[in-house]
A and B are shown apart, each in its own frame.
Chain A
Amino acid sequence: MPHAPDEGSRVRGASPPNAETFENQVLSLVPSLRRYSRSLAKSDSDGEDLLQDCVEKVLVRRGQWRGINLRAWAFTIMTNLYRDRHRRLIQHPSVELDDTLGLTAEDVSGDPLEKTRLQQALNALTPDYRAVLMLVVVEGYAYQDVADMLSIPIGTVMSRLSRARRQMAAHLAEDNIVTLRRPK
């Protein structure tokens, strides 16, 4: 006797009748959402907070989703949350120590001081520039996609990208590095 799946029976890991539930789609996006949130945030814990807020908002607003490109939609939501948070922080700048936290994760190869510098250069960008840079460079979106996601003209995407790149370069170019020499 087929009947509509009882919502209650879906509780608790029992394999869902339809693997493509909205929740599962959201869940499958978590890795890329996590990467994007971390690339916007100043620290690992900020990144996780942003991720959590974003997933929550995506679930709450599921009725507004048009059924195409859930990832881009979720990225838009995250970008807006990130800008709102940043604005709040500027109005209530109590969290000043938040400069901490390196880009640790599993990337143990590179130069730790270099990673700190990269993070500082990123933290010096405005949220708008940073979001465009990350969407293009780390998330690999085409310029037009970024324009659509952020509801801005493509010319604005290009100028933000350009400024972000130049500011980063200026920050990173500060000449305070000398190569080590130790004859073995």
Chain B
Amino acid sequence: MTDEHTPVTEADLHAFVDGRLDDDRRRRVELFLKDHPQEAAEVQQWQAQAKDLKAAFSSYARFGENDRTLLNSKTQPATLASFRRGAGLLAASLLLFLSGAAAGIYADRFYAGSPPVETASALESLPGQSKTAFLVYASEKRHPVEVGADEEAHLVAWLGKRLDYKLVAPDLRSQGFSLVGGRLVPVNGRAGAMLMYQDAAGQRLTVLLGKNPENGETSFRFESSGSVETFYWIDGEIGYAVTGEVTRAKLQAIAEECYRQFES
């Protein structure tokens, strides 16, 4: 009879996450979750998801400068009265439109202050660009780098200048890799840097640095493609990616070493 004997359903779990249960039922679900770690973990995921989704879109709930122009429908309402009103609005819209036209279309104006649209794809492609650089240059016998390790000071000064960043070439000897050199490469359509390392067996790996369109700090990500592993992360203005044909554990240790040595 009591609430305690009514089984907790999946619908209850969703309603719990969405704050749609009355107090009794909510307590019942809380008790249930204490004894059911699997469901509790799932509910926790859903709660985290909900929080992230709200955070991701809440800032869009705002007026744009030119929202009134949204009312300037191109199509005409059916009735005569609304037709006349529509015509009036159309005239108004024309004025508004003319005043706005010089600055470009509506959407462009609205987002004029926002970061460039390629942001996510640029972030997305960092590991891809790193992998390509690795595949192209690590296998190169005669000219894997533009400036060799024998000119390290010049190399870091030159690439650092192009990146507008105080570049250091990480010392990876503790990991068994020594610097081969580096080159200027395009990253996200801008000047970026690639450093190359090699171990005693001639196994190579590359470290790619590119300007990051969006300031931020991320965790490490990794991406595998066949036997090629890439670790990448963003720290402040720079995106980093380390690519090599070594085990993931080994590459992670190297990436962590790079992370420690690079200035943020």
**Does A177 have its Cβ within 8 Å of any Cβ on chain B?**
yes
**Cα A38 to Cα B64 with chains together (Å):** 14
Q: How many A-B residue pairs have CB under 8 A?
A: 213
Q: Other than the known A44-B114, A63-B77, A101-B117, what 20 A-B pairs have Cβ atoms closer than 8 Å?
A: A7-B84, A10-B85, A23-B71, A26-B71, A27-B67, A30-B70, A34-B64, A39-B57, A39-B60, A52-B70, A99-B124, A101-B121, A102-B123, A106-B59, A107-B56, A108-B216, A110-B55, A143-B15, A176-B222, A178-B252
**Does B219 have its Cβ within 8 Å of any Cβ on chain A?**
yes
Is B88 touching A34 in the complex (CB atoms < 8 A)?
A: no
Q: Nearest residue in A to B54 (C-beta to C-beta)?
A: A138
Q: Nearest residue in A to B82 (C-beta to C-beta)?
A: A62
Closest 4 pairs between A and B when the two form their complex, measured CB to CB = A102-B120, A35-B61, A105-B59, A178-B220
Within 8 A of B (CB), among A89-117: 99-108, 110-116
**Does B218 have its Cβ within 8 Å of any Cβ on chain A?**
yes
Over the window 1-34 of chain B, the binary record of Cβ atoms lying under 8 Å from chain A Cβ atoms (1 yes, 0 no) is 0000000001100110010100000000000000
Contact residue among A44, A60, A99, A180 (Cβ-Cβ distance under 8 Å from B73): A60
Cβ–Cβ < 8 Å partners of B88 in chain A: 7-8, 10-11
Number of interface residues of A (CB under 8 A): 72
| B82 CB, nearest partner CB in chain A, Å | 7
Residues of B within 8 A of A (CB): 10-11, 14-15, 18, 20, 42, 45-46, 49-50, 52-64, 67-68, 70-71, 73-75, 77-79, 81-82, 84-85, 87-89, 91-92, 95, 106-107, 110-111, 114-115, 117-121, 123-124, 212, 214-223, 231, 233-234, 252, 256, 259-260
Cβ–Cβ < 8 Å partners of B222 in chain A: 176, 178
Is A169 touching B221 in the complex (CB atoms < 8 A)?
A: no
Q: Nearest residue in B to A119 (C-beta to C-beta)?
A: B120
A48 touching B110 in the complex, CB below 8 Å, given contacts A63-B78, A100-B120, A104-B214: yes
**Cα A10 to Cα B97 with chains together (Å):** 17
Cβ–Cβ < 8 Å partners of A182 in chain B: 259-260
Cβ–Cβ < 8 Å partners of A158 in chain B: 10-11, 14
Cβ–Cβ < 8 Å partners of B231 in chain A: 178
Over the window 55-69 of chain A, the binary record of Cβ atoms lying under 8 Å from chain B Cβ atoms (1 yes, 0 no) is 110011011000000
**Cα A115 to Cα B64 with chains together (Å):** 23
